[in-house]
Amino acid sequence: MLETPRIKDKAGKAYWSSTWEKSALPPAIDPYDRVRGNFVVRHFHSLFSELFSESDTRGASLLEIGCARSVWLPYFAKQFGFKVSGIDKDSWINQSMMFMYRSMRSHCGGPMSNLSLMC
């Protein structure tokens, strides 16, 4: 029987914790912002809009693995009505994401689905 090789996190938990603690929260995604640097976001928004155009995504579950400080979870909740969840191995991320989610709720306007986080 073949053994699956174990993949080691070469940076380690301490590295990621200190990296996230030192960095500022990322700005919310705005797919309608026409600034030059927002081309990739607009392109992804166009792709996702086409992909989900024939699906009822309101209340559907969406999970991001390795979410860190994801700006995509609030985006998918706002734009497509997904009930979003994120998993990250660093428990510090949970506190950071909850703060970011609450601040993005006011930016997004209107109700958003619940955000659940696990580590």
pLDDT at 76 over 90: yes
Whole-number Å distance between alpha carbons of 25 and 103: 10
Whole-number Å distance between alpha carbons of 77 and 112: 6
According to CATH, the topology of domain 29-118 is Rossmann fold (3.40.50)
pLDDT at 64: 87
Residues 67 and 84 sit within 8 Å (Cβ to Cβ)? no
One-letter amino acid at 43 equals H
Whole-number Å distance between alpha carbons of 92 and 21: 8
Whole-number Å distance between alpha carbons of 67 and 87: 6
Contacts 24+ apart (CB under 8 A), 21-24: 21/92, 23/69
Instruction: Indicate the domain borders of the chain.
Output: 29-118
The answer to pTM > 0.75 is no
pLDDT at 112 over 90: no
pLDDT at 111: 42
pLDDT at 119: 41
Which two tokens mark 44? 């992804």
Residues 113 and 81 sit within 8 Å (Cβ to Cβ)? yes
Higher pLDDT, 20 or 103: 20
